[in-house]
Structure 1
Amino acid sequence: METKPHAAVLIGPFGRATVSLGTRAVVAHAHAEFNFLFQVEGAGTVFRVEREPLPLDSEHMIVLNPWTTHAKEENSGAPTLLLSLLIDPAWLEANVYGPAAGDGMFPCNSVRTTPALRSLVEKLVKSIHGIGPAHDERAHVELVRELVAAVSYAYAQKGPALRIGRVDSRVRRAIAYIQQHAANNPDLLTVAAHAGLSRSQFFARFKDSVGVTPQHYLDWVRLHLAVKMLAGSDMPLAEVAAQLGFYAPSHFTRFFAQHVAIPPSEFRRCLVA
């Protein structure tokens, strides 16, 4: 495959598509979106999904339901050119899989990458990198839809309603507080007190209801805000960091790179117009 092996970020109504080249580890995290991970070129690598090591290579892709905790191990050798799709559940339901889409629709996190899927991956990556015929946003989104549909029809099963709709009132109160105060990086004990729960009750009920720890949820909300600021404004990185409650820009850069695999300056520079 003849691509330009560099980072590129496409943001659209579906969510986000990121092409990145590197060996960097990614810390354990989770998010509200479905995640599709493909090796495009270079060395294979390993992700830990709920602590289980899974390969990402020419024969295996990784599919993750919302709020599935995962991390990427640091490559021991050559870098990996990786495509990551973060797919909004509502978009997937409306444009791909219908009302059967749910947070448990993929029963297996490691699945085979067929030749047909690899061909769709290559088409999307080339399009994002501007290789071949000119593409506008609509064409990019259609290529994303084709790839997500192919993976879904091959490996998905009917899932239950999204877990976030089944949380109890106190956890809902905590979620609302986190969303309203995420830019201030709220202390989780303060969140627990606002929800009317002890520390142990808060962590147990939150994990049971949402599927991840309160810290992973808070990290996702703050990262979502960071992406929105980086993509939607020319605000200096130092100001972005300050508005998100980081004591220094370097702390923000480390947080962002540990979750996205590329630093915020490169993320902004590589946004596809």
Structure 2
Amino acid sequence: MLDDRVIDYGSGDLVIAYMDLPALTHVTEADETKPYMAVELPLDLAMLVDLATDMQLLPGTEAQAISVRPLPEAVLDPTLRLLQLLDAPMDAKILSGGLKREIVYRVLTSSHGDSLVQLITVDGVLQRISGSTEWMRHHIDRPVDVGTLANRAGMSVTSFHRHFKAATGTTPVEYHKRIRLHEARRLLAGETETISRIAMAVGYASPSQFSRDYKRAFGTPPAADPLRQRPPREKATS
């Protein structure tokens, strides 16, 4: 779930995501007899460009950060062979690169190849938007200036807003707020800092505003989030 977008996928689906999205995820079907399992393969853009060039595929004109399609059957065999290399480190070192290339090739030659080709846009829109999201992730505690981001991406502010929302489903300011809140939730689950310190760590000057935004995003204030690890109480000394 990303703002008002619901991205639904399940068994037998291929999910292609070009950039990280600050989304809430929920596994709806899983138990001991049928556990939730997925294979995630990092996308090598240089490999994609190389294959598309060899295959003389035209760059896409649309720029969306995520797509869900049925998994091409031809992808199953090289994926299985890649998984079997987990128990053979030396084989994996030599053979995994070729199998990953074959997997990408099988997707490109399927009816869903456009989902990958669209990542090679004529003017590099997704690459530039991805550069902006990466900058925000590395400067999570700093305020966002959309004009500066647009300038970094080589676009006007209007064009940047339009392309950013088309790719991520949200505005640059809202995206930055969401990655701040997701990082805050990670800190709540993994550390024993106070809420005010966590708010400050993700760039909030006001703990009360942080609590309001947190509740709006996750349905509960940070102090009541069940993921929160409470700071240990100090032992009384005599």
Q: Quick check: which one's strand share is greater? A: 1
Provide TM-score, normalisation by structure 2: 0.49
Q: In terms of Rg, which structure is larger?
A: 2
- The structure with the greater share of residues assigned to helix is 2
Q: What TM-score comes out, normalization by structure 1 length?
A: 0.44
